[in-house]
Amino acid sequence: MWKTVAKHLLSRAAEARTADPAVVQSLREKVGASKLGRSLAIRHVSAGSCNACELELRATQNLVHDLTQYGLSFTPSPRHADILLVTGVSGKNMREALLQARAAMPEPALVVAVGDCAVDGGVFKGSPAICGGAGGVLPVDLMIAGCPPSPERIVLGLLALVEANGAPARAAMPRREPR
Ligand code: SF4
């Protein structure tokens, strides 16, 4: 199996990942004052997800997508976090948990909604049991749609956030060649 994985990785050219410049510009206007720098810690809260978004989120940390090479890492504590990343519908019983996680984070902080459920409730939109996504509880800075969004899409969205926060802006780092 490992031979197959290594063959697959080595056959892929080292492509550069670059965030969409239009998204970066719009984020820069939105979060320009935040200036968190280029190394961001993420606190993830699942607020009523089916777990598929979590699987894709975990995949961003594997050796193919390697989120940490962009200065992004997950932290278990909101007190150490720059980004509150929300998945799931934001069920009404998760409202307080989300508010508490956000309140525990040092300022400035950003909120990212990942997956259609977190964007607007997704397939559960209109249900009286939900707040209608993360935006129904907190102001959201970045939405990454998809059901679930692919790891590539999540990485590119977060990369746009890193680019928007970086001062001065610079081209995205090339992907590291697998050894
Ligand atoms: S967006 Fe889709 S994959 Fe993600 S939690 Fe909702 S239903 Fe599940």
pLDDT in tens, 73-87: 999 999 999 999 999
Q: Is the dihedral angle over the CA atoms 165, 168, 174, 176 positive or is it negative?
A: negative
* Ligand 1 centroid – CA 148 distance (Å): 5
- Which of 44, 46, 49 most suits a substitution to test ligand 1, by most atoms within 8 Å of the C-beta? 49
Scanning 48-138, the segments in alpha helix (DSSP H) are 52-59, 95-104, 116-120
* Ligand 1 centroid – CA 156 distance (Å): 19
Arithmetic mean of pLDDT, 153-167: 84
pLDDT given at position 79: 94
**Residue appearing with tokens 């999540």:** 154
Q: Burial level of 114, CB count in 10 A (0-12/13-18/19+)?
A: buried
* pLDDT top residue among 34 and 35: 35
pLDDT in tens, 110-158: 999 999 999 999 999 999 999 999 999 999 999 999 999 999 999 999 9
- Give pTM, 2 decimals: 0.82
CB 17 within 8 A of CB 69: no
Query: Residue 169's pLDDT band (boundaries 50, 70, 90)?
Result: very low
What percentage of the chain carries pLDDT values higher than 90? 57
Q: Which fold has domain 35-163?
A: Rossmann fold (3.40.50)
> HSE (CB half, 13 Å, CA atoms) of 145?
4
Give the domain ranges of the chain.
Answer: 35-163
Paired tokens of 140: 């959201």
Query: Residue 33's pLDDT band (boundaries 50, 70, 90)?
Result: low
pLDDT given at position 29: 73
Quick check: 90 pLDDT over 80?
yes
* Ligand 1 centroid – CA 97 distance (Å): 19
Per DSSP, the residues of 86-101 read EES--BGGGHHHHHHH
Arithmetic mean of pLDDT, 47-67: 93
* Ligand 1 centroid – CA 145 distance (Å): 10
Residue nearest to atom 5 of ligand 1 (CA): 49
**Among 56, 42, 44, residue whose Cα is nearest residue 134:** 44
* Cis peptide bond upstream of 78, omega within 30: no
pLDDT given at position 168: 45
pLDDT given at position 119: 95
Distances from the Cα of 120 to the Cαs of 6, 75, 89, 101, 132, in angstroms? Answer: 39, 25, 7, 20, 5
